[in-house]
Amino acid sequence: MKSVAKKVFRSFTLELPIYAALAIAYVVLVLHYLGHWLFQLFKDERDLYAIVALTLIVGQGYVLELVTRGLFGIIRGKKEK
């Protein structure tokens, strides 16, 4: 049981900084490139803003999962060789 807990903890300590870096990069990029447009959308078209914001949130989660799954596939692939 300890080896399973050790693997889970190791995976968590690897995933956390990767998720944090990708999430921060996403927020910075969205604010930089879409910040003004999102603010105007918020002021003028609240319903459309809500849809766009939810789409961005779901899209971020999906892309983040794909990227981290790919990175860990590469990392685990190198370790097994």
Residue pLDDT, tens place only, 31-65: 899 999 999 999 999 999 999 999 999 998 898 88
**Taking the C-alpha atoms of 9, 12, 17 and 21 in order, what is their torsion angle to the nearest 10 degrees?**
180
Q: Tell me, what's the pLDDT at 37? A: 95
Q: Tell me, what's the pLDDT at 16? A: 85
* Position with higher pLDDT, 19 vs 78: 19
Distance CA 13, CA 70 (A): 17
Q: How confident is the model at residue 13 (pLDDT cuts 50, 70, 90)?
A: confident
